[in-house]
Chains A and B, each alone.
Chain A
């Protein structure tokens, strides 16, 4: 380890106090609960999934963004129509980088933004007619397999029945048309939108096609949205291991794949926050067990692959998985060996999303970097403290507004994927189903855990810790960088990536190496600010004719040549600050 690893860091209690200092009493009381010091052995209770306090500069977005933007938007062959004024549809158009590579013969509508662009008259007299007409026009233009409709804030208030419009359109057009009541004001963050999206996809798409995928080891990846091509990497890795990917919810996925994803034998959950509802509902209705996986970080990827192989209990699969892991780890070693010495001991902070602030800690650990603070933008307590706390989470009014579907086992299609004996054997071998241990158990003692971090808190954290890299989103990026600290966007990956699985890990190591070692951060101060002293004019001093003797006398005795002209300039300056 380099001397960097012994770098001084401030007392986290003091940092917390500095963060809370300027808050009015009422605000302070709320924020206190959402800023805690970690204990990995017994994670303290953290305030999460609570309302953002008005007037606080927050990272959070809205329910519509979580529903249309995150969970359903990536399904590439659905026509997505936003019902409302033009803005919401416009801002969710191509901004999330969920890439799609449609299979031959499939259509891709991702480049199209569709909105009813509501005008004042429709706000006053109702927008149902316009919505129905818009659905018809969309069908005439694109003939999609399915059309989904998303409500924006005004829709709930003016009372448009978007679900009735969807039902009528379904009958009229003979295709699947469904709607989401994901008005922006529902819930406290994007999280409510994820839940609404899960419900809608489960009700309207999953289970519409019982044709099973070919392959023996059929797995769905839930909560992977193919930002920067992550899902492409996972697909390739699965293919090499001989695992059949039935569907990814919902990165690089078609409507048809989701319609038959209930035929898979295992759900592997990446982003617990955005899709645990789906995992639970599919287990209840179809009998598919779920496990938590993480394909961010080499170690986590290996662990996740082994877990999947262990679940299927097939020797050939396990052998193949081990072979792939060994090959990939070997390939990765050269990158780690090269990059790690340059990154080791550096400090990172991550404030993003509902799973990435946890998942990406693996990559930093693999580089020997220390995470001094982390938190989610819209997660719940179980994402911090682990699912063990679920029974103790109080359901508040905002969460109660979001529908909980009543799901029962499907009388025909429910099928236990593993026999009770197999399950017992797996559990006896330390295998855990339906569990997520949360972020805090992996973090250092006394590390700061901050939920829904505000601008001011981030400002203090950077001022007092001076981390070498901060991970957050586009709104914070240039704020952080104006402080002279590089910022990695972990929503959009700064238009880079992929970062998933082994190949992605190598990309991320190199990216962090670039960020923490790039020269530009050392160029901020111009030379005249480092050495503001005046009087460094050149002085004329007549040079004696160079002879062999004088040249030897001018050398400094260590074999270096005599001073150049610029060295003479420096020599008449008073001593300045050392350069950075």
Chain B
């Protein structure tokens, strides 16, 4: 397993090996699925759309519907206007969405296709059916990562759909960030439980965690409606979860509709969930109900119960920046020691944030943004850890390192199913994380400890 990896780490200037990120368009496609009755459209050659649909399908085990402009060499030379026009004509007559959310690819970015001009022409030629919407995000694959693409498409929702009517309503906006449907559902449950009135977009719950009913629905019941997104312009504030995935849209909403925003971390772990709950409480001007305080208490109880198994355990973590930062915070809260922390998405703020969380005790930790899994693996070989947390690709490192305890977390998880049904955000999600981490550590002990130390009770 990964036999050519050694403990010798060298800095590379050009070669990316086993990336901890992917490209922008897949994030844009995912965000667009969080609009009700929306068909994401990939403007480029059809392989991008095929790869993104396949990858999202493997993660969610759900239908992921999207169309493509199917560029061939001609379109790549002469521009994609004809392809776009034909695509939109087909889409509206065959698939009849309310919204087509177009994202670019590196191909259409390099040739410089002007999507607003194409939309304008389509509209002026009378081809856009009444009441239908076209939105677009530029998502060049050669900048940022899939998280950037998600942020760009969320920003496009604001740019195209949010409107300020002049009457501020008694609702705030919730931008959930790049979360799984179960997590989005949990964020809504917590906010609603506190008594908040809010609009959340994008919202992929009830889109990518659908039931088996024997009936396929091209547009499942979930997703934020155009009307809801439009009304975000009248919200009295925006609560944005995650600097990378949500802040750009929050900023755009402030700029366009003068809605002020507050930024908190994704509610992963104790402290970050506290911050989220407290922010919702302040915005909703209400009290945190006993039910939620009780969940918090259960989490604390679990943390103290399990502390003996977690204390000072060395952890390697990789994933998307908005996920990893609060996760590192949580690991520190649990008394664990994150020693290698990696995200593939670029951004110096990541390193500053994580360093701050680790404090002086973590001065020797490797913390790197824009890094890959080969480097992470080399560091693990040089300075071993007790636990690895990250997406599915981590399983190769875990197996290479003598079945290192491994907890799947983040995007994508291609080989297990629980992530799409059970949240890892909020207090309940944190309990699930603690259980997952403890299980991983104890399973290893149970498999490998000498027989005389094999214990009935833990």
Residues of A in contact with B (beta carbons under 8 Å apart): 22-24, 26-27, 51-65, 81, 84-93, 95, 107-109, 111-120, 122-123, 130-131, 133-134, 136-138, 140-142, 152-154, 156-158, 184-189, 397-398, 401, 455-456, 459, 473-475, 477-479, 481-484, 524-525
| Chain A residue with the shortest CB-CB distance to B140 | A120
Q: Given contacts A54-B69, A57-B65, are A116 and B94 in contact (CB under 8 A)? A: no
Chain A neighbourhood of B1, CB < 8 A: 111
Chain B neighbourhood of A84, CB < 8 A: 106, 141
In the assembled complex, the CB of B374 is this many whole angstroms from the nearest CB of chain A, namely 8
B114 interfacial contact with A, CB 8 Å: no
Contact of A120 among B3, B48, B142 (CB under 8 A): B142
Q: Given contacts A111-B396, A482-B215, A482-B216, are A186 and B73 in contact (CB under 8 A)? A: yes
Residues of B in contact with A (beta carbons under 8 Å apart): 1-4, 10, 12-19, 21-23, 25-26, 41, 44-48, 50-55, 57-58, 61-76, 83-84, 86-91, 93-95, 105-107, 110-111, 140-143, 145, 210, 212-217, 344, 374, 393, 396
| Chain A residue with the shortest CB-CB distance to B64 | A475
Task: Tell me whether A86 and B216 are in contact (CB under 8 A).
Answer: no
Task: Tell me whether A53 and B62 are in contact (CB under 8 A).
Answer: no
In the assembled complex, the CB of B14 is this many whole angstroms from the nearest CB of chain A, namely 4
Additional A-B contact list (18), CB under 8 Å, known A54-B86, A59-B50, A131-B14:
A27-B86, A54-B84, A54-B90, A55-B67, A55-B91, A62-B46, A64-B47, A85-B141, A107-B4, A112-B18, A118-B142, A119-B143, A133-B13, A153-B107, A186-B73, A456-B95, A475-B50, A475-B64
Q: Given contacts A55-B86, A118-B142, are A85 and B106 in contact (CB under 8 A)? A: yes
What is the bound-complex CA distance between A58 and B42, given in angstroms?
Answer: 12
Task: Tell me whether A86 and B22 are in contact (CB under 8 A).
Answer: yes
Chain B neighbourhood of A459, CB < 8 A: 216
The 3 closest A-B pairs by CB, nearest first: A62-B47, A87-B23, A55-B87
Chain B neighbourhood of A65, CB < 8 A: 47, 50-51
What is the bound-complex CA distance between A473 and B57, given in angstroms?
Answer: 11
Contact of B90 among A53, A107, A138 (CB under 8 A): A53
In the assembled complex, the CB of B457 is this many whole angstroms from the nearest CB of chain A, namely 36
What is the bound-complex CA distance between A88 and B49, given in angstroms?
Answer: 11
| Chain B residue with the shortest CB-CB distance to A62 | B47
Q: Given contacts A56-B67, A475-B54, are A117 and B47 in contact (CB under 8 A)? A: no
In the assembled complex, the CB of A52 is this many whole angstroms from the nearest CB of chain B, namely 5
Task: Tell me whether A52 and B15 are in contact (CB under 8 A).
Answer: no
Task: Tell me whether A90 and B90 are in contact (CB under 8 A).
Answer: no
What is the bound-complex CA distance between A258 and B21, given in angstroms?
Answer: 33
In the assembled complex, the CB of A404 is this many whole angstroms from the nearest CB of chain B, namely 16
Task: Tell me whether B19 and A113 are in contact (CB under 8 A).
Answer: yes
What is the bound-complex CA distance between A459 and B50, given in angstroms?
Answer: 18
Task: Tell me whether A112 and B141 are in contact (CB under 8 A).
Answer: no
Task: Tell me whether B105 and A153 are in contact (CB under 8 A).
Answer: yes
What is the bound-complex CA distance between A475 and B67, given in angstroms?
Answer: 12
Q: Given contacts A134-B15, A137-B14, are A107 and B63 in contact (CB under 8 A)? A: no
Task: Tell me whether B65 and A455 are in contact (CB under 8 A).
Answer: yes
What is the bound-complex CA distance between A552 and B153, given in angstroms?
Answer: 75
Task: Tell me whether B87 and A54 are in contact (CB under 8 A).
Answer: yes
Task: Tell me whether B94 and A23 are in contact (CB under 8 A).
Answer: yes
| Chain A residue with the shortest CB-CB distance to B61 | A478
Q: Given contacts A122-B142, A478-B61, are A61 and B50 in contact (CB under 8 A)? A: yes
What is the bound-complex CA distance between A481 and B212, given in angstroms?
Answer: 8
What is the bound-complex CA distance between A296 and B212, given in angstroms?
Answer: 32
Chain B neighbourhood of A27, CB < 8 A: 86, 90, 94
Task: Tell me whether A51 and B72 are in contact (CB under 8 A).
Answer: yes
Contact of A474 among B58, B140, B142 (CB under 8 A): B58
Q: Given contacts A53-B90, A108-B3, A153-B44, are A141 and B107 in contact (CB under 8 A)? A: no
Task: Tell me whether A53 and B4 are in contact (CB under 8 A).
Answer: no
In the assembled complex, the CB of B141 is this many whole angstroms from the nearest CB of chain A, namely 4
Q: Given contacts A118-B142, A153-B105, A157-B110, are A133 and B15 in contact (CB under 8 A)? A: yes
Task: Tell me whether A52 and B51 are in contact (CB under 8 A).
Answer: no
Task: Tell me whether B69 and A57 are in contact (CB under 8 A).
Answer: no
Chain A neighbourhood of B55, CB < 8 A: 91, 95
With most chain B CB atoms within 10 A of its CB, the pick from A27, A54, A58 is A54
Task: Tell me whether B111 and A157 are in contact (CB under 8 A).
Answer: yes
With most chain B CB atoms within 10 A of its CB, the pick from A63, A189, A474 is A474
Task: Tell me whether A474 and B54 are in contact (CB under 8 A).
Answer: yes
Task: Tell me whether A56 and B142 are in contact (CB under 8 A).
Answer: no
Q: Given contacts A133-B15, A478-B62, A483-B215, are A184 and B83 in contact (CB under 8 A)? A: no
For this complex, 13 residue pairs linking A to B, each with C-beta atoms less than 8 Å apart, are A61-B47, A65-B47, A112-B4, A115-B15, A122-B142, A136-B14, A137-B15, A157-B76, A185-B76, A474-B58, A479-B65, A479-B216, A482-B215
What is the bound-complex CA distance between A483 and B217, given in angstroms?
Answer: 9
Task: Tell me whether A123 and B72 are in contact (CB under 8 A).
Answer: no
What is the bound-complex CA distance between A317 and B89, given in angstroms?
Answer: 61
| Chain B residue with the shortest CB-CB distance to A142 | B4
Chain B neighbourhood of A51, CB < 8 A: 70, 72
Chain B neighbourhood of A478, CB < 8 A: 57, 61-63
What is the bound-complex CA distance between A54 and B374, given in angstroms?
Answer: 38
In the assembled complex, the CB of A534 is this many whole angstroms from the nearest CB of chain B, namely 22
What is the bound-complex CA distance between A57 and B70, given in angstroms?
Answer: 10
Task: Tell me whether B93 and A24 are in contact (CB under 8 A).
Answer: yes
What is the bound-complex CA distance between A107 and B1, given in angstroms?
Answer: 10
Contact of A24 among B89, B111, B214 (CB under 8 A): B89
| Chain A residue with the shortest CB-CB distance to B77 | A157
In the assembled complex, the CB of A162 is this many whole angstroms from the nearest CB of chain B, namely 14
Chain A neighbourhood of B70, CB < 8 A: 51-54, 56, 58
Chain A neighbourhood of B141, CB < 8 A: 84-87
